[in-house]
Structure 1
Amino acid sequence: MAVEPIGIITIALGLYCLVLGQDATIKAFVSLTLLGAAAAFVLGSSSVQPAHVFLMFVAVAAMRSKRPAAPLFDVLHFGQPGFWLACLVLYGGLSAYFLPRLFADATTIIPLGIPEQPLTGGVAPLGPVSSNLTQTVYLAADLVCFTLIVAIGSTLAGYRAIVIGLIAYATLNIVFALLDVVTGSIGAQDVLQFIRNAQYTFHDNDKVNGMKRIVGSWPEASAFAGTTLGALGFTATTWLCQRHSRWTGPLAVTSLMLIILSTSSAGLVAAPVGLAILYATAVWRSGIGPGSSHSATVAVLAPLLVLLAGLVILLQQDIFNTVHNYVDILILSKSTSSSGLTRGSWNTYGLQNFLDTFGLGVGLGTARTSSFPVALLSNVGVPGAFFFLMFAFTALGHGGAPARSYVADIRLAARNGCLCLLAGSMVVGPTVDLGLLFFILAGLAASRPATIEPTAPFLRLHASRDLPEPRGST
């Protein structure tokens, strides 16, 4: 095992945050999930990301807190989202060990963990692989993350701390993206190597039609765009609800621009889906009532702006050619490119794996795909897909908060963030693990904070309201 410098920094930060308290620890944890290309520890060919190490400090902070621990276990009761996620982890772990051995040589797989290869290479007969263990550990960490977020979010102070952490995440994501662009343009890429030390295949110097692919703090452009979709969904919805508007509005606009400019096909395909979700939210919230002015403005002006932009593009030949060439390279011609053919073959093999194992899957972490639904079916089969759908339905469908209260608005933002992440994963989701950001947002959507928090006067709480923060404040 090798301890990296960023691992030492992570441990030092964790100890410092424990001194400050639970709220500081959860804010730091949410922000650290941004470092998707970093390794705090290197175990052979596997990397342990800083956020996974920091999860230990979050657990200690939650246990040390004077706040009740009941929500930590309540979410695991039958029918609760934690129960279904635990079922997915249990079945995934069992499938990772038994299914590659039970169905050995019964089908041909694209083993998870190999670098991208041409269409003719990379296949192997079904059997155990090293990623069976690592993916089981990652999925178990997702479960721990989700339950801790629900527990910490059971109080209004903790709930707000998670929200601030997500706003910090979106801010730092933009900062790293801009640093990536600037350092790439002046030939100083080594400046960011301290957060690009994981045992992954990096594409941080690639260009498309002369444009640098934006990767930020991630290994490749598709990973950057995919996670930025989650930040876009959360911050844009929060702005529509007129919560933390001073920050969330600019963050949402900048995140959208970076997705478009990232040269990621996945981001360009999934962004319209995310925008459609956000527009539907604006229309739904644009009725008469407090906090509806932003939504009403978007509901009315968005179609006009889209129409105006379309007319400008069609009437200006130079602009039309630029946009057409960009879309053609990233989307229209993608299916015939080497990368598109390779990723298409991964899904073909994945679906065949599902059929050859009679719907049980080849085992968690065994096969690589290029779409999250195919990853579910090929790796954990019908049982795993059922458990995930039940988890998503119960976690993202929670109600109970007063309409248009702070909690209800943030839950809506968290749900939209999850849906935007799923939209990106539908295009390029190689594994069953959706990442810690997804489960942070899902945990926020499933949290049930207490209605009164007399020990936190800085939140300006009153017993008569859920969380009476003035709309648009920070």
Structure 2
Amino acid sequence: MTLLPIVGFWALALWGFAGAGGRRLVTLHLALLPFGSLAVLPASASGGLALTPAPMLGALLVLRCALTRGGLAGMARLALAPRGMLLLAAYAVVAVVATAFLPRLFAGTIVMPWRGEVLAPTPLAPSAQNASQLAYLLISILVAIAYGRLLAQPGMRQHALRALALGGAVAVATGLLDLATAVMPVAPLLAPFRTAAYALHVSHVILGTKRVVGLMPEAAAFGLLCVGYLSLLYFLRRALPDGWLRRRGMPALMLGLLASIALSTSTAAYAGLSVLGAAAAAEWGWRAVTLRRREPGRRGLAPEAWAAIGGLAALAAVFAVLPHLLDPVAALLEATVVEKAASASFAERSAWTEVSWRAFLATGGLGLGVGSTRVSTSVVGVLAGTGVLGAGLYYGFILRTLTRRALPRDPEARLLLGGVRWAWLAPFASSLLTGIGADFGPFLAVLFGLGVAVSDWRAGARAAPRLAATPAGCP
């Protein structure tokens, strides 16, 4: 049975690779992110690594883009352009050099290893985790560059938005199937998709409530996956044409993702959702104040406000009539949020970051190499992995993404770039709580690529007509 999902995955991957212009692979990459517990290669063939669909499809997407006529040269131009993705490409170079030399240079420094039944501080030594974690980071960087090329085409942007919606629907569906295992004998249907070599926490219960994990390794991973989908779909949906998907499909899907986040009972997911809510309110205010009448970005302001007010009023009315309904909710929030700081897992993850931070300081700011030490926040992960130089390049690229200008005379580009500026906040904030290394993951890779794709990095007005006329495939 375990071979069937692997064979099915590779059949889909080959089908996607054979498609023109990378459209099929974009769909598969964004739609199969919820299969985070599926190993697509047997452990004996992967050297013990848990290779899941996301990095494998990301690598295939990069290869497909590079093999398209002019694709490799186009990716190189984008990676080397100062107004393009030069800072991110430089971050990749720093990561490679740091990982090649620093684990040997600082061998013996006390770090927190990536693997072990009991994670305890150990002396640093070069390991297979240096190579594997560097590979994951490089794939994310190359995926961002590939999306920067592919999404320069308006048709491909719309395709990617629909693929994101499909991925969100898959996340909700897998969450419902996992929830059903508590009352129905459907667990055998999910077992073949839970083959990753690392620990899978799929049967945890809190206050008598099953923690929903979908097909991810644990509840926190599932909750943060749903936060990522919800953030991108909420802020980018305005670029969709007016139709069923935008008017009815998106609201229903976002409600499903909200319910999935709640059922994950993950503290990190709740924190990410709080950031998303604050970003949504701030973005609404920004659109209301700064955009002129009849601009596309102002569309939907009144319905969104009434929907929020109506939803809050309905909840207040329900709890006013039936106040005891709040008791289980309050108990769950107390267990997952208030008591989290006193839990053993919180203490353990804090120890990871403390040990890794001390190790980083011991290097004088040079870093230890990607994969050398395990952390629980992405900021320390980037600093410990690539040093002050790498962190400066990475966060400088984020700042560059937020300050880009949209392609002139392209309303869709303005809508999408505005969405990128807000959609990154929730995934980034989540990584501050749960990031275990320097890899920024697929959601930020998509946003980084989309941000440059709709910007004037080529020098503005002359780029827009040529990009709009580019045929399918990498420009």
Q: Where on the TM-score scale, by shorter chain, does this alignment land: which range?
A: 0.7 to 0.9
Alpha-carbon distance, 1:66 to partner: 5.7
Alpha-carbon distance, 1:73 to partner: 2.4
More deviation in 43-52 or 423-432?
A: 43-52
2: distance between equivalents of 1:162 and 1:36?
Answer: 20
The reply on whether 1:183 has 2:188 as its aligned counterpart is no
The reply on whether 1:270 has 2:275 as its aligned counterpart is no
2: distance between equivalents of 1:97 and 1:193?
Answer: 38
Residue in 1 that maps onto 2:104? 101
Residue in 1 that maps onto 2:458? none
1: distance between equivalents of 2:277 and 2:95?
Answer: 33
Q: Kindly tell me: are residues 312 and 348 of structure 1, through their superposed partners in 2, closer, same or farther at Cα, counting changes over 3 Å?
A: farther
Cα RMSD between the aligned structures?
2.8
Amino acid at match of 1:48: L
Amino acid at match of 1:16: W
The reply on whether 1:47 has 2:45 as its aligned counterpart is no
The reply on whether 1:428 has 2:434 as its aligned counterpart is yes
Residue in 2 that maps onto 1:149? 147
Alpha-carbon distance, 1:10 to partner: 2.8
Judging by fraction of residues, say which structure has more helix: 2
Do 1:273 and 1:420's aligned partners in 2 also have CA atoms closer than 8 Å?
yes
Do 1:314 and 1:320's aligned partners in 2 also have CA atoms closer than 8 Å?
no
Residue in 2 that maps onto 1:406? 412
Residue in 2 that maps onto 1:255? 257
Greater relative CO, 1 or 2 (CA 8 Å, sep 6+): 2
Alpha-carbon distance, 1:307 to partner: 7.0
Residue in 1 that maps onto 2:376? 370
Alpha-carbon distance, 1:7 to partner: 3.6
2: distance between equivalents of 1:92 and 1:182?
Answer: 43
Where 1:215 maps in the other structure, the secondary structure is: coil
Where 1:199 maps in the other structure, the secondary structure is: coil
What percentage of aligned pairs have identical amino acids? Answer: 23
Alpha-carbon distance, 1:258 to partner: 1.3
Q: Which runs of 5+ in 2 are unaligned?
A: 456-463
Where 2:195 maps in the other structure, the secondary structure is: coil
2: distance between equivalents of 1:206 and 1:239?
Answer: 34
2: distance between equivalents of 1:74 and 1:241?
Answer: 27
Do 1:109 and 1:350's aligned partners in 2 also have CA atoms closer than 8 Å?
yes
Where 1:39 maps in the other structure, the secondary structure is: coil
Matched residue pairs, number? 450
2: distance between equivalents of 1:173 and 1:21?
Answer: 27
1: distance between equivalents of 2:322 and 2:253?
Answer: 29
Residue in 1 that maps onto 2:214? 216
2: distance between equivalents of 1:164 and 1:384?
Answer: 34
Amino acid at match of 1:170: G
Aligned residue runs from structure 1 range 300-339, under 5 A:
302=308, 305-306=311-312, 309=315, 313=319, 317-339=323-345
Where 2:328 maps in the other structure, the secondary structure is: helix
2: distance between equivalents of 1:455 and 1:392?
Answer: 27
Residue in 1 that maps onto 2:461? none
2: distance between equivalents of 1:411 and 1:71?
Answer: 21
Amino acid at match of 1:92: A
Residue in 2 that maps onto 1:235? 233
Q: Could you give the per-residue CA deviations for residues 32-56 of structure 1, whole angstroms, max 9, x where no partner exists?
A: 3332211112322212222333345
2: distance between equivalents of 1:274 and 1:79?
Answer: 31
Q: Kindly tell me: are residues 410 and 102 of structure 1, through their superposed partners in 2, closer, same or farther at Cα, counting changes over 3 Å?
A: same
Q: 1:382 aligns with which of 378, 388, 395?
A: 388
Q: Kindly tell me: are residues 268 and 315 of structure 1, through their superposed partners in 2, closer, same or farther at Cα, counting changes over 3 Å?
A: farther
Q: Could you give the per-residue CA deviations for residues 77-107 of structure 1, whole angstroms, max 9, x where no partner exists?
A: 242453222222222222223222212223x
Q: Kindly tell me: are residues 355 and 210 of structure 1, through their superposed partners in 2, closer, same or farther at Cα, counting changes over 3 Å?
A: same
2: distance between equivalents of 1:230 and 1:410?
Answer: 16
The reply on whether 1:355 has 2:338 as its aligned counterpart is no
Q: Could you give the per-residue CA deviations for residues 141-162 of structure 1, whole angstroms, max 9, x where no partner exists?
A: 1122111111111212222222
More deviation in 360-369 or 44-53?
A: 44-53
Alpha-carbon distance, 1:415 to partner: 3.9
Q: Normalising by the residue count of structure 1, what TM-score does the alignment of the two structures yield?
A: 0.86
Q: Kindly tell me: are residues 252 and 67 of structure 1, through their superposed partners in 2, closer, same or farther at Cα, counting changes over 3 Å?
A: farther
Do 1:111 and 1:124's aligned partners in 2 also have CA atoms closer than 8 Å?
yes
